[in-house]
Amino acid sequence: MKTVYIFPGQGAQYSGMGKNMYEQSEQARKMLEKANDILGFRITDVMFGGTDEELKQTKVTQPAIFLHSVVMATIMGDNFRPDMAAGHSLGEFSALVACKALSFEDGLTLVSKRATAMQKACEVEPSTMAAVLGLEDDRVAEICESVNGVVVAANYNCPGQLVISGAIAAVDEACEKLKAAGAKRALRLPVGGAFHSPLMEPARAGLEKAINETAFAEPVCPIYQNVTAQPVTDPALIKANLIAQLTAPVRWTQSVINMIADGATDFVEVGPGKVLQGLVKKTNDNVNVSSFIF
């Protein structure tokens, strides 16, 4: 029996996130106040009482989810004993900090730089993402390749559920072709840009220098990274995969399948929401899923 800790990505935020931890744990309070200092604004004010619109700001969303996850993993103390770990997109940074591959301060700084770089990339060309339900992975990728313009499979979330990403016109054309091919749904998502697509190249280039200049250590357990869906412990390879992650697809389905093949029996979601638990169960209903409740 092996336990996997999984860390959510963008979209899991909600108003009030982290407030209980801040009020009830001195350790959590110190970490969150340090985060306010590092970021240069009181992100805790937005986390605890911000509107949905305020929480959707890229400079807030990514650090907020990262902080919720990492603080929660920290205050779990000796109860946090991962045999493996993985994070969905942004959540990969949370997993790396929770598993000691990256310091809290460096992780938060990189997440903040990542958010800024992604926001700037979104402003270069109008772009978007769309959810696709009910088609096989290979068929979705094949149809995306048939479209003129940039559109790719970006998030392999669970069997029969993908997200495509690219230029607005190309995504719209792909959605029509996907529906014609039998997709149950192919619907644009309310996001600010084409994450995990070639259109994030400006962000990847901007983040590469920051990642390369940051000290990474060997994590306490293998991290199944998004780019390859394979277990990684070598700091140099972790860095290379993190740099590639912004323009490469999130292979979450493949990561879950590989972790189960390597003995994973229990998946514990650490952070806001329960989205990843649902994706794991849709991939394999025979494993246990839960979340750490504070």
- Candidates 140, 129, 150; CA nearest to 179 is 140
Q: Find out whether 30 and 44 touch, Cβ atoms under 8 Å.
A: no
- Candidates 240, 287, 237; CA nearest to 260 is 287
Q: How many residues does the chain have?
A: 294
CA 95/CA 238 separation, integer angstroms: 12
- Candidates 52, 33, 54, 53; CA nearest to 44 is 33
Determine whether 68 is an active site residue.
no
Spot the catalytic one: 89, 94, 197, 291. Answer: 89
Spot the catalytic one: 165, 196, 197, 255. Answer: 196
Q: Find out whether 73 and 102 touch, Cβ atoms under 8 Å.
A: no
For the chain, how long is the longest CA-to-CA vector?
Answer: 55
Determine whether 89 is an active site residue.
yes
CB atoms within 10 A of CB 278: 15
Active site residues: 89, 196
